[in-house]
Amino acid sequence: MGQSSLTRRHWCLATAGLLVARAAPAQVRDLNDAINKAGRQRMLSQRCAKAWLAIGQKVRPDQADKVLSESMALFDRQLVELRAFAPTPAIKSTYDQLDAAWGAYKTALVGAAPAKAGADTMLAAAAKVLALADQGTQQLEQASGKPVGRIVNIAGRQRMLSQRMAAMYLGASWGVQATAATQALDQARNEFTQALGLLKAAPEATPAIKAELDLAEQQYGFFDSALRSLKVGAADTRAQADVFTTSERILQVMDGVTGQFARLV
């Protein structure tokens, strides 16, 4: 499939996802669920960037194409739900701002075929969406006022960090904002490790959750090993593919962990 076909397909899927989302009723159950979904928006901002960078470098292009399309559709759907649920005017304002930032980001993602020349614009748009998505998550945690709300936020942030690490790796290996990407990657690695320890020690962690966190820790070992193969500006397609696929495995585990925390009363 050519790059122009990929672009047209993304626009069609994104538009279809938006139309479905606009018609769908709000499905946020409670504040814990809202924090979970709000935190997932942070992750999706970085997962889209990861997929775009992979497509541009022909790293697992079919999988990356699917990840980008599915991530954009899910972001659309959850944004509608969160805007409808927003319990305060301040939170509603945040999601109105996020809606506008997301529109600009979608243009950067699918307005043209992924290419190195467009990476700076895409990453700048991704950063705005991430900042607003994080702001909304923090506001919802504050509205909760319960310890479990904080834990859901921290667990959900691990999903974002897994995708951010992969995106920064792919950017640096392509020579895109290499210094900033390398620094962001190192910071995210430290944050992920520290938060994993905090979650395992949390009183809210059930035996089932702890078992999943042990699995996440094992997966992170493979992921970290792949990340350490980074050669700035010297792309290694096999290593890039390892980073891409391992980040997806960690995401799956941490999404499940976050959902378990969110269902606690």
Q: What is the pLDDT of residue 107?
A: 97
Domain boundaries, the chain: 3-262
Tell me which amino acid residue 249 is. R
Q: What is the pLDDT of residue 24?
A: 43
Q: What is the largest CA-CA distance in the chain?
A: 51
Task: At 177, list the tokens.
Answer: 């904002």
DSSP state of 26: P
DSSP state of 58: T
Q: What is the pLDDT of residue 229?
A: 87
Q: What is the pLDDT of residue 159?
A: 98
SS3 call for 219: helix
Q: What is the pLDDT of residue 18?
A: 38
Rounded Cα–Cα distance for residues 189 and 217 (Å)? 12
79 CB contacts (<8 Å, ≥6 apart)? 21, 41, 95, 98, 99, 102
Reference 137, options 182, 84, 89, 82; nearest CA is 82
Task: At 49, list the tokens.
Answer: 């960037």
Q: Are 256 and 189 in contact (CB under 8 A)?
A: no
Mean per-residue pLDDT pooled into runs of 10, the chain (265 residues): 45 40 62 97 98 97 97 97 97 98 98 96 98 98 95 98 98 95 96 97 96 96 92 87 96 97 90
Reference 34, options 83, 98, 97, 89; nearest CA is 83
